[in-house]
Amino acid sequence: MNRFNVDYYLRTSDFDMNSRIHPAAVLDLFQEVAGGHATLLGCSFAQMLEKNLLWMVTRVRFSVIKMPQKNSYAKVSTWPLEPNRVIFQREYSVTDEQGEALIRGSSEWAAVDCNERKLVAAKGIYPESVEYLTDKTYEGRLPRLHDFDCEKKACTVTPTYSDIDCNGHVNNTKYAVYVMNCIELGSDEEIYDFQIDYHKEIQQGDNIDLYCKREGNTIFAKGLRDKDTMFLCKIEIKK
């Protein structure tokens, strides 16, 4: 109940032209294993919907310890930390078939009222029988990303049908696709650390202006709808 493990086959489509795993593929692995565990805990999408509630991810971060290999199997594990008043923190690890660490990560979630789109209290969402683990991927809570100034727009994206998930908004994995399509990553550069803070829901048809800024091995990105900051992203390149 407190830890959930799934073996995944890493497909060619999970990697870019330089055999680096797509950040969106990592977020997809996290999303799938979290969903599987939620079903086991009795709080899946369908089970939450019966209570007029939705899960929304508010922040996610991962670090690449060793680049995964395409066409190989990986074990993805997840476990929830004890929630606070409204925030559910969930940890992740990805290892290869020999048990060597590939990726570690963490995410923060909230339970939201379907109609009002307001956060609801965490109490009672998880079953009382859960024995929470204390193993943390990072010290403390995930750091909040700070906004940045950038005058030059990198690109504009308009979400379409295939970007929308069962919650009726752009799926969290698509944000990583938008960012990676707008930054200039060298063929010999690998991502070490990747974080996205989700501020507001993006809907189908929204025009999202992306701004990017690079300082050494750190890349900052954000998406704006008019003047509203919809998300912030920070990427650390392996030195």
DSSP strand pairing (153-157 vs 4-10): unpaired
pLDDT tens digit sequence for 26-40: 999 999 999 999 999
Tally the residues of the chain: 239
Average pLDDT over residues 101-115: 96
Give the lowest-confidence range in 12-16, 104-108, 149-153, 221-225: 149-153
Question: Which DSSP symbol is given to 65?
Answer: S
> Residue 53's pLDDT is what?
96
Does CATH place domain 4-113 in 3.90.1310.10?
no
Two domains, one topology: 4-113 and 153-237: yes
Distance from C-alpha of 77 to C-alpha of 122, rounded to nearest angstrom = 22
Give one DSSP letter per residue of 100-153, joined into a string.
-EEEEEEEEEEEEETTT--B---TTTS-TT-------SSSSSPPPPPP----SE
Q: Are 136 and 5 spatial neighbours (Cβ–Cβ below 8 Å)?
A: no
Q: Are 119 and 151 spatial neighbours (Cβ–Cβ below 8 Å)?
A: no
Average pLDDT over residues 133-137: 96
Is the predicted pLDDT of residue 141 greater than 90, yes or no? no
Average pLDDT over residues 137-166: 94
* Residue given tokens 């009382």 in the structure block: 128
Is the predicted pLDDT of residue 167 greater than 90, yes or no? no
Helix (H, G, I), strand (E, B) or coil at 88: strand
Domain boundaries, the chain: 4-113, 153-237
Is the predicted pLDDT of residue 140 greater than 90, yes or no? no
Distance from C-alpha of 60 to C-alpha of 195, rounded to nearest angstrom = 6
pLDDT tens digit sequence for 53-77: 999 999 999 999 999 999 999 999 9
Distance from C-alpha of 212 to C-alpha of 219, rounded to nearest angstrom = 7
Distance from C-alpha of 224 to C-alpha of 202, rounded to nearest angstrom = 10
Q: Which residue has the higher pLDDT, 223 or 141?
A: 223
Average pLDDT over residues 181-210: 96
Note the pTM of the prediction, 2 decimals. 0.96
In terms of CATH architecture, what is 153-237?
Roll (3.10)
Distance from C-alpha of 154 to C-alpha of 226, rounded to nearest angstrom = 15
Phi, psi of 63 (to 5 degrees): -125, 135
> Residue 1's pLDDT is what?
82
Average pLDDT over residues 119-147: 94
Going 100 to 105 to 110 to 115, the CA torsion angle's sign is negative
